[in-house]
Structure 1
Amino acid sequence: MADQNKTEIKVAFIGLGVMGYPMAGHLAKAGNEVTVYNRTTSKAVRWVEEFGGKMALTPKEAAQDCDIVFVCVGNDDDLRSVVLGENGAFAGMKKGAVLWDDTTDSATVAQELYAKAKELDLNFVDAPVSGGQAGAENGVLTVMCGGDEDVINQCIPVANAFACSIKRIGPSGSGQLAKMCNQICIAGIVQGLSEAIAFGKTAGLDMPLVLGVLEKGAAGSWQMANRGITMDLNQFDFGFAVDWMRKDLGLCLAQANKTGAVLPITALVDQFYAEIQNRGGGRWDTSSLITLLNTQPKTK
C-alpha cells in the first residue's frame, strides 16, 4: 500500500508502541519526512536506525513545522501529557496543522482536545484503529474518525499508508464511540468462541477440524480465524493484551453509564478479564478468556 500512496509531506509520530512503531514505519516508507517521539528514547533511536527520519526529545519539538502530527499512546492521561503543556505537541504545531489521534481513549478527551485545538487555530481528529498489531505491521488497519470532514479528507491520503479503510463516523468523539462499539463486539465474540471451544473439547471433538468447518459458516469471525487454533493450544503470548482490553472496556462501561446504555455481556466479560489479571495474565492475549473454562473431557 505504501508504494501506491506516495505523499511526501512532513509529519510527526508520537508514541512508538506495538502499534505506533510499525504505523510510523509505513508513513516513512510512503515517502513522508517523519520525526518521531517516544517516552523511552531508545525505542525512537531504534526506529530511526530502521526507517530513517529524525527523532525529537519532546512532543513539541517533534511537531514543529509538521502538517500532520500522529499520536498513538496509552490512555487519556498519556494523550494529554503529550499534547498539552509547554512541551506538548500543540505548543509546537503551526497554525492549521492537524493532530490525528490514533489512541483508543474516551470521547470526552477527544471533544476536550478538539475544542482546545480550535482555540489555537489547529485541528484535531480522533481516529482510533482496529486490526491489532498484525494490522499495524501489515498496514491494513481500519480507522474510525471523528471531527471535521474536510480535515479528515485532507489527511486520508497520508494515513492510507497504514490503513485499508478510513471512515468519518461523525463529529468529534464519534471515532472513539465507534471504537467502543468494536470492543463491545469483540468481548462477546471471544467469550462465545471460548465457550464453544471448551464445549467441543469436553465432548471429545477434534476442535481444529471443527473450527475449520465453522469458520466457513455463519459463526465465522476474525477471532475464530486468527485465534481459534491458538486458543485450542492454550497459546496466549501475543496479540492484544488483557490489560489493554480492560482499559478499553472500562471506557465502554463509563460511556454507557453516561448515556444509559445497558451492557450486561460487556460487564460480565470485563469481570472475567479481571480474573485473568488476578491470575497473572494481564499481558496475555484477549483470547485467554478460555483459560477460565474447564476444557478437560469427562471420562466415560
Structure 2
Amino acid sequence: MTQKPVIGFIGVGFMGHGMAKNILKGGYELWILGNRNRAPVESLLSMGAKEAASPQDMASKCDIIHLCLSNSPQVEAVITGESGIIAGARKGMIVIDTTTADPTSTLAMAEKLSVVGAHMVDAPLGRTPKEAEEGMLDAMLGCDAALFDKVHPVIDCWAGTITRIGEVGTGHKMKLLMNFLGAAYAALYSEATVLGATVGISPHAFREVIAPSRLGSGFFGTFMQYVCDRDENAHKFSIENLSKDIRYVNAMATDAGVMNVMASAARHYFTHAEAIGKGGDFVPMLSDHIGNLNGMDLAAEVAKGKK
C-alpha cells in the first residue's frame, strides 16, 4: 500500500464511534456500517464518512476493515455470511478485529480469510469509550511482523498504546486475561463493599481507605464512582458483555487444561445477573445485585453513610 489505504469500520457503537472518528481525523477515506442505532452513523457521515451497503460491499471498496462487535458469532456472521466480507474480499485485504472474541474462532476466521488471500489481525481494546473518543485506547495485537508494520499507522489514529503480543490469536488471548481480571475485580469489590456495609463499614469509608492505597486502581476508581456517587456513566461496559468474556476465559482454560477456580467463581455472579434480566446494566451495578443477594439495598446503605 503505497498510498493511504481505504478503511472500513463495522460496529460504530460506544467504542467504535470514537475510533472511527479518529481514523477520519487521520486523513483516511472511511466507509462505515452500523447497527440499529443510527445516531453514531449519522454523526460519522456528517464528518465525511461514507456508508457501505453490506460487509461484502465494504470489502470490495476497502483495504483494511475494522470490526468492533459484541461477540464471536457476530464476527463470524460478518466475515462468512452470505453478504459477508469474504464474499467481497480482494487479495491483500486486512481485517482488524477489535472485538473481545474467542481465540478459537479468531484462528478459524483467519484461516478462512487466508483462503481468499486476505489477512486477520486481532487487536482487542483496553480502556473506555472516553479514551476511544480521545484516540488514546490500548491495543494488543496478534499478527505477524509484516502485517503489524502495515496496520500500525492506522491503529495509531485511535490508540495511545500499541503492543504486538505475538501471532494471530494472541491479542484476543491477552484481552481475555485482562477481562478475567476485570470480572474478578468487579466480583471482589462488590463482595467486599457489601460485607463492609453489613459489618458497619460504609462504602464511602471503604473507598476512602482503599483508593489511595496500593490496592487502588483505575478500575476501582470508576467502579466505586458508581457505588458511592451513583454515577451510572462512570464505567460504561455491560454485565452481559463481561459475562461473555468470562465464559470465553473459562473455555480457554478448559482447552488449555488449566484449573481456573477464580474465573469459574466470578462467572457465576455474571451469569446470575443475566438470568434475572440485569445483563444490560453496567458492570459496577453488579454491586447492587450482590447486595440484593444478601438482603441489602446498597443504594440505601450508601445514602446512610454519605458525609
SS at match of 1:142: strand
Q: 1:172 aligns with which of 156, 168, 174?
A: 168
What is the match of residue 244 of structure 2?
A: 247
Q: 2:9 aligns with which of 8, 13, 17?
A: 13
SS at match of 2:215: coil
SS at match of 1:282: coil
Are 1:196 and 2:192 an aligned pair?
Answer: yes
Paired amino acid for 1:75: N
- 1:148–1:87 Cα change, 3 Å: same
**1:216 Cα deviation after fit:** 2.3
Paired amino acid for 1:146: G
**1:21 Cα deviation after fit:** 2.0
Which residues of structure 2 form unaligned runs of 5+?
Answer: none
Which residues of structure 1 form unaligned runs of 5+?
Answer: 1-6
Deviation string for 1:198-222 (max 9, x for gaps)?
A: 2333344454354244222210112
What is the match of residue 144 of structure 1?
A: 140
Q: Please say if residues 13 and 40 of structure 2, whose CA atoms lie closer than 8 Å, have aligned partners that are also in contact.
A: no
Are 1:83 and 2:71 an aligned pair?
Answer: no
Are 1:94 and 2:90 an aligned pair?
Answer: yes
- 1:45–1:102 Cα change, 3 Å: closer
Are 1:184 and 2:180 an aligned pair?
Answer: yes
Distance (Å, rounded) in 1 between the aligned partners of 2:8 and 2:150: 16
Q: Please say if residues 11 and 63 of structure 1, whose CA atoms lie closer than 8 Å, have aligned partners that are also in contact.
A: no
**1:70 Cα deviation after fit:** 0.6
Are 1:159 and 2:155 an aligned pair?
Answer: yes
Q: Please say if residues 135 and 159 of structure 2, whose CA atoms lie closer than 8 Å, have aligned partners that are also in contact.
A: yes
Q: Please say if residues 203 and 227 of structure 2, whose CA atoms lie closer than 8 Å, have aligned partners that are also in contact.
A: no
Are 1:54 and 2:64 an aligned pair?
Answer: no
Q: 1:135 aligns with which of 113, 131, 146?
A: 131
Identity among equivalent positions (%) equals 26
Q: 4+ residue stretches of structure 1 with deviation over 6 A?
A: none
Distance (Å, rounded) in 1 between the aligned partners of 2:77 and 2:30: 21
SS at match of 1:283: coil
Q: Please say if residues 186 and 284 of structure 2, whose CA atoms lie closer than 8 Å, have aligned partners that are also in contact.
A: yes
What is the match of residue 65 of structure 2?
A: 69
What is the match of residue 3 of structure 1?
A: none
**TM-score (norm. length: structure 2):** 0.86
Paired amino acid for 2:112: K
- 1:271–1:155 Cα change, 3 Å: same
**1:277 Cα deviation after fit:** 2.1
What is the match of residue 277 of structure 1?
A: 274
Question: CA RMSD, aligned part only?
Answer: 2.4
Q: 2:24 aligns with which of 25, 28, 43?
A: 28
Distance (Å, rounded) in 2 between the aligned partners of 1:93 and 1:47: 27
Deviation string for 1:243-262 (max 9, x for gaps)?
A: 11111111111111111122
Deviation string for 1:39-97 (max 9, x for gaps)?
A: 43835751343321200111111222422111111222211111124521233233212
**1:236 Cα deviation after fit:** 4.2
Q: Please say if residues 104 and 128 of structure 1, whose CA atoms lie closer than 8 Å, have aligned partners that are also in contact.
A: yes
Q: 1:110 aligns with which of 106, 110, 114?
A: 106
Q: Please say if residues 238 and 280 of structure 2, whose CA atoms lie closer than 8 Å, have aligned partners that are also in contact.
A: yes
Paired amino acid for 2:86: F
**1:286 Cα deviation after fit:** 1.1
Distance (Å, rounded) in 1 between the aligned partners of 2:149 and 2:207: 40
Distance (Å, rounded) in 2 between the aligned partners of 1:44 and 1:219: 37
Q: Please say if residues 48 and 55 of structure 1, whose CA atoms lie closer than 8 Å, have aligned partners that are also in contact.
A: no
Paired amino acid for 2:258: A
Are 1:256 and 2:257 an aligned pair?
Answer: no
**1:100 Cα deviation after fit:** 0.5
What is the match of residue 288 of structure 1?
A: 285
Are 1:265 and 2:238 an aligned pair?
Answer: no
Number of residue equivalences: 292
Q: Please say if residues 84 and 91 of structure 1, whose CA atoms lie closer than 8 Å, have aligned partners that are also in contact.
A: yes
Deviation string for 1:14-47 (max 9, x for gaps)?
A: 1122221221111112111100012438357513
